[in-house]
Copies of this chain bind each other. A is one copy, B any other.
């Protein structure tokens, strides 16, 4: 059948494994009633209470209108709340509710469970090394430890070769 002219490369493996990880996390957030994008937003708001929608949009690399929809969902579900800033009434200050904080805690548990699923077959030393290398790669490329952009310009998600 297929003849492996060359083994897959790091870039391919990263996007393949990254898609798998994203997928498995999506399954878990779905059980908790939110999407991965909403979970990411909730986490940022938790870390930066009072952030406004514009700054959040910049941080996410998303359009302002996208943020409106995300916050609408989180607010409707009772996980986050808007409040007009008293210093500049154009701003909506975003905060996590009590219920949202409890959800964040469950999301952390889900992420820990996922961690086991993904790297369970590796010996401790290998897992530690992998973690270190990925962290260095992420830092080298200036990726924000808080943000997972999803992706930016080119629409597509899958990849190859």
List A residues at the B interface (Cβ < 8 Å): 1-4, 6-27, 30, 35-37, 39-41, 43-44, 47-48, 104, 107-108, 110-112, 114-115, 118-119, 121-122, 126-127, 129-131, 133-138, 140-141, 143, 145-146, 148-161
* Complex CA distance for A9 and B113, rounded to whole angstroms: 11
- Among A11, A23, A43, A133, find the residue whose CB has the most chain B CB atoms closer than 10 A: A11
A–B complex contacts, Cβ < 8 Å, 17 sampled = A1-B47, A2-B47, A2-B146, A8-B138, A13-B137, A15-B25, A17-B137, A19-B150, A20-B141, A23-B154, A107-B160, A111-B161, A118-B137, A122-B136, A148-B159, A149-B158, A157-B157
Q: Give the residue of B4, B23, B135 whose beta carbon is less than 8 angstroms from that of A153.
A: B23
Interface pair A111/B36, CB less than 8 Å apart:
no
Instruction: State the copy count for this chain.
Output: 2
Q: Given A16-B148, A145-B4, A159–B118 Cβ distance below 8 Å?
A: no
